[in-house]
Structure 1
Amino acid sequence: MRAALRAFLTLWLLFAGAAFARAETIVFTDVNVVPMDRERVIARTTVIVTDGQITSIGIKAKLPAGTPVVDGKRAWLVPGLADMHNHVTSRDDLSLLLANGVTTMLNMGEATNAFNGRTRIAVNRGEVPGPYVFTAFVVDGDPQYGHFVVRTPDEARAIVRLAKANGYSFMKVYTNLSAEAFAALADEAKRQGIGVVGHNVKAVGLAKQLAAGQAMVAHVEEFFYGFFPEPPADDQNAPPADARIAEAIALVKAHDAFVTSDLFNYRTIAAQFGKPEVVKAYLAAPEARYLSPADRLAWAGSGYQKKAVDLSRRVAFEARFVKAMADADVQLIAGGDAPTIPGQVPGFALHEEIDAMLSAGLTPWQALSAATRTPGAFIAKTVPGAAKFGVIAPGYRADLLLVAENPLEKPATLRAPLGVMAHGRWYDRAALDAMLAEVSARRAAP
């Protein structure tokens, strides 16, 4: 009885807090807009949203009586954040993302059929709270990593068509795909208008993959395996020479490709190799109370802690590499591997990635671009017909984040949004807190 009452009260708080959840038009007044089209601020202005789309900035139109108004009180309005590499498949994890200001996500493989075919559609229609969802279908050349296997060009072409028919926006290529299968997959993807993303394919290499049309490299560290020279036999975890960074940057820019900055992900993996006490610390962290029981068990049994490996020099190199890419205007997008990697809780992990980019020397503008405008550019290039997002401008999706301070000066403000808009719904702080409380209560229950 108490559990049922608690669930009822939590739901009541959630929808009571989201005061303007289904309004057709919502007006934001007295907000400082950080539009992210370029590095600037539009001070103390008005933003009007209609049917989930931004319709005007700075125009005080006459609106019908009773039109919902959010008084910004000089707070800062920025585009919603994008997590472009996760493995979220549950409604609770979608709530965690939204409560952290994430309004767009890309599931990078192994989404369940129910998530891709039912939950994704419901969320993208605005029927279920969560960020706008894109999904990638992952394929490999053998079952070593548990992914869907294709071995021949005919199988590769067929799986592209099947993935498109089932609503996937991307094909994710994995390590052991054959060169012949990759070539067929890349060619069929062009024909079908579906993007190719993913890892280094050992039989091909990143240079040939990008030349064949792969739009995005899913981890910065894939350059260790598919572009930089092999390390010495007696020092397999040695980093590449910094002098080779310029060659990698030239390759990416030549093909107008995107790279996922996963500094926090790689650093988190490196920290736990051979160190079960580190994984225990991850499980004891405050954010871990939001983990599902299955994820808690998976973290506790992770194989990383069973083998000692020193990746510290590669972690340091990767930070220098990402900084160099940012300064060279490589198209970086933010992501990680939550919740599959111990230490990465959905939503919270994206803020850790932003912090990792800042620690690597990126400016707040560069780091925030990787979580807003550049993901929007990536989707615009790779998903035909997708609605525009990532910038506050008329005609763009009204994915919005209201924060207390200027994120271009104090990026930490992004961790505590005053409110979030997604799918035309406004969730104030009370509603976001209720989301978190509901997830915590449900996942703490026996």
Structure 2
Amino acid sequence: MLRALLTLWLLLACAAVARAETVVFTDVNVVPMDRERVIARTTVIVDDGVIASIGRMAKLPAGTRVIDGKGAWLVPGLADMHNHVTTRDDLALLLANGVTTMLNMGEATSAFAGRTRIAVNRGEVPGPQIFTAFVVDGDPQYGHFVVRTAAEARAIVGLAKTNGYSFIKVYTNLSAEAFAAVAEEAKAQGVGVVGHNVAAVGLAGQLAAGQAMVAHVEEFFTGFFPAPPADDQQAPPDDARIGEAIALVKAHGAFVVSDLFTYKTIAAQFGKPEAVKAYLAAPEARYVSPADRIDWARSGYQRKAVDLSRRVAFEARFVKAMADADVPLIAGGDAPTIPGLVPGFALHDEIDAMLAAGLTPWQALSAATRTPGAFIARTVPGSAKFGVVAPGYRADLLLVADNPLEKPATLRAPLGVMANGRWSDRAALEAMLAEVEATRRAR
């Protein structure tokens, strides 16, 4: 059975990798995501991995591949802008869930950051377009690459760029001197700066120095909002301060990763081993690698009882306020390093969490499509445009049964996915999932 599934997967993968020169989608309702609208019952032509036209049916060469949408809905492929995916199996999970762009936010293996990233981005291996961030910290306690001086910080920016990293991710214990050098050198070399609150600097200083993205909403707890009272360390900030945080982000044009589901999932397992057991028994857990399952079971969250419920509720209000103020939010799944977060599925969970917080479907879908495209366009010079269905944009497309602006749940069941011009229909997506599940069982 495993051999048969593997053979089927290889055949489908090879078909997916072979990019057709021209692919035509007919009878599709397009949700372009350039603004809140629908282009009804139209035609989209893809040529050599790029959207060539919408609405014009030119005379096409014999043998041109035509995909009859039958009135389905065509939207931009989804973007997971904060994950820790490092394997081809997890890339398959992302693709099968409609994710066509990803940002690995740290600790990618050298093989993934180099060989796998290059192969996927060239179209030699199926998967979403990959961007990577190199993590630097000032202390080894979290296991990250350590830089302590300005000279070391400048050097690592150049090395990261040489090795294909698009971003430097700054971490908590970086010194003020090292952060300043990272920010200055990154600006000079065209490398984006993203990451956590650096305790020695604070988010106001980091954004002023050019940091383009805050990697977690909860970084504002330690990096901007006043410290909680000594007798109530998990007290949430005062809602009256939300406007100040929004003003700071907007003043610098920074992006913020919405990770509501991540934070809620972490909060739910503090001091609760039974929660981790439930995550391991969930249906999506059959796609989790044996190594990650072991790490989940050993997670330190379950060893310490902390009540974060008020902060979880505050984050929901904060994200809703940011969305309503047009702060550029980008969605991230943060899988698979945190128990309960499965690649691909976690991004849909985040979209659902944004909806539960009161965001409209347009706001939530924007955070997973057009806004990530705007983020990459601003921070990665020369990158292909994506995140909108429009001529000249990378052909990253998701075909779904219903209008996601009315029924966002339709995104969880794609009829097909096109990643950089390579089409995988529902049968191919299901085969990807089946092959990952079979591989996990075999190990």
- For 2:8 and 2:122, how far apart are their aligned partners in 1? 26
1:186 maps to 2:183: yes
Kept in 2, the 8 Å contact 1:357–1:367? The answer is yes
What's the CA shift string for 1:26-45, capped at 9, x where partnerless?
00000000000000000000
How far does the alpha carbon of each residue in 1:232-255 deviate from its partner, in whole angstroms, 9 at most, with x for none? Answer: 000000000000000000000000
Distance, in Å, in 2 between the alignment partners of 1:74 and 1:114 is 42
Report the Cα offset of residue 337 of structure 1: 1.4
1:47 has 2:44 as partner: yes
Match of 2:439 in 1: 442
In 2: Cα distance, 1:129 partner to 1:27 partner:
20
- The alpha carbon displacement at 1:259 in A equals 0.2
Q: For 1:354, what is the secondary structure of its paired residue?
A: helix
The whole-number CA distance in structure 2 between the counterparts of 1:412 and 1:322 is 20
In 2, Cα distance between equivalents of 1:21 and 1:14: 9
- Asked if the contact 1:14–1:434 (Cα under 8 Å) also holds between the matched residues in 2, the reply is no
Whole-angstrom distance in 1 between the partners of 2:242 and 2:28: 41
TM-score between the two structures when normalised by the length of structure 2: 0.99
Paired residue for 2:130? 133
Alignment-mate amino acid for residue 291 of structure 1: V
CA deviation vs aligned residue, 1:205-237 (integer Å, no higher than 9, x gap): 000000000000000000001000000000000
TM alignment of 1:41-440, pairs within 5 A: 41-440=38-437
Per the TM alignment, residue 13 of structure 1 is displaced from its structure 2 partner at its CA by: 5.2
Contact 2:5 2:431 in 1 (8 A): no
Distance 2:185 2:341 in 1: 34
Contact 1:15 1:431 in 2 (8 A): no
Q: CA deviation at 1:22?
A: 2.4
**SS, match of residue 438 in structure 2:** helix
1:377 and 1:430 map into 2 onto residues whose CA distance is 32
Indicate conservation of the 8 Å contact 1:14/1:432, yes or no.
no
Aligned residues between the structures: 443
Do 2:333 and 2:343's aligned partners in 1 also have CA atoms closer than 8 Å?
no
1:390-442 per-position Cα deviation (integer Å, ceiling 9, x unaligned): 00000000000000000000000000000000121100000000000000000
Question: 1:86 is aligned with what amino acid?
Answer: N
Could you give the per-residue CA deviations for residues 103-162 of structure 1, whole angstroms, max 9, x where no partner exists? 000000001110011000000001101000000000000101000000000000000000
Give the whole-Å Cα distance in 1 for the aligned partners of 2:432 and 2:313. 37
C-alpha separation between the residues in 1 aligned to 2:13 and 2:331? 28
SS of 1:345's equivalent in the other structure is coil
Task: Show the 5 A alignment for 1:30-41.
Answer: 30-41=27-38
**Residue ranges of structure 2 left out of the alignment (5+ in a row):** none
**Cα drift, residue 12 of structure 1:** 3.6
Secondary structure in 2 aligned to 1:65?
coil
Q: d(CA) in 2 for partners of 1:380 and 1:12?
A: 34
Of stretches 4-13 and 373-382 in structure 1, the one that deviates more from structure 2 is 4-13
Question: Does structure 2 conserve the Cα–Cα contact (< 8 Å) formed by 1:48 and 1:56?
Answer: yes
**Residue of structure 2 equivalent to 1:4:** 3
Q: What is the CA deviation profile of residues 373-395 of structure 1, one whole-angstrom value per residue up to 9, with x for unaligned ones?
A: 00000000000000000000000
**How far is 1:318 from its partner?**
0.2
TM-score normalised by structure 1 residue count = 0.98
Structure 1 outlier segments of 4+, above 4 Å? 13-16
The CA deviation at 1:179 is 0.2
The Cα RMSD (Å) is 1.0
Deviation track 1:323-365 (CA, whole Å, cap 9, x = no partner) reads: 0000000000000310000000000000000000000000000
What's the secondary structure of 1:137's corresponding residue?
strand
The answer to whether the 8 A contact 1:11-1:434 is kept is no
8 A Cα contact 1:107 1:134, kept in partner? yes
TM superposition shift of 1:5: 3.6
Displacement, 1:65? 0.9
Query: Unaligned stretches of 5+ in structure 1?
Result: none
Residue 26 of structure 1 aligns with which residue?
23
